[in-house]
């Protein structure tokens, strides 16, 4: 898996919100790129955290390993309200990032440098990434009912 200091691989994928092509979303500003799959239980658990991160003013773009209609239904059901892209098999973008599991998030600078890479869910690591990205409050606290750690 790519890590901090690596260059984010360039890509173009269709948006599920209208089908427009989106290329290298981090060029518009620092971006959290979140990879997920609609059947992944940990992805479902963190979907609201991506929305919370976005609502805190952090640019978040989700990349689903699913067809657009499945991603749209997932976003509605799981409360994931962030721009979402659809990646068809054989998941070339995921392979370029060296994904081993979903969810995996990458915090990417406008010049394409990966600042952080986080596989799975780890409350402390996600909260630290959120703080670095400019969120004023933690995404998750011990009393919110989420486990502190879940591998992808």
pLDDT digits (tens, 9 = 90+) for 19-43: 799 999 999 999 999 999 999 999 9
CA distances from 29 to 26, 130, 142 (A): 5, 15, 31
CATH class, range 12-150:
alpha beta
What confidence tens digit (pLDDT) does each residue in 63-100 have? 999 999 999 999 999 999 999 999 999 999 999 999 99
pLDDT at position 131, please?
Answer: 96
* Angstrom distance (rounded) from CA 140 to CA 46: 10
Contact (CB, 8 A) for 54 and 81: yes
Contact (CB, 8 A) for 122 and 93: no
Q: What pLDDT band is residue 18 in, cutting at 50, 70 and 90?
A: confident
pLDDT at position 118, please?
Answer: 97
pLDDT at position 19, please?
Answer: 74
Across the range 115-132, mean pLDDT stands at 97
Domain ranges within the chain, ordered by starting residue: 12-150
Contact (CB, 8 A) for 3 and 114: yes
Contact (CB, 8 A) for 8 and 33: yes
């Amino acid at each position: 898996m790519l890590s901090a200091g690596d260059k984010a691989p360039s890509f173009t994928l269709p948006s599920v919100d209208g089908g427009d092509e989106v290329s290298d979303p981090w060029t518009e500003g620092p971006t959290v790129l979140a990879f997920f799959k609609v059947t992944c239980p940990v992805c479902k658990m963190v979907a609201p955290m991506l929305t919370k991160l976005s609502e805190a003013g952090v640019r978040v773009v989700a990349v689903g390993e699913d067809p657009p209609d499945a991603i749209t239904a997932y976003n509605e059901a799981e409360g994931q309200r962030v721009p979402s892209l659809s990646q068809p098999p054989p998941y070339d973008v995921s392979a370029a990032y060296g994904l081993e599991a979903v969810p995996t998030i990458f915090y990417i600078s406008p010049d394409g440098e990966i600042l952080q890479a986080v596989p799975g869910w780890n409350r402390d690591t996600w909260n630290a990434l959120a703080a670095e990205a400019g969120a004023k409050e933690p995404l998750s606290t011990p009393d919110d009912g989420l486990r502190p750690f879940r591998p992808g």
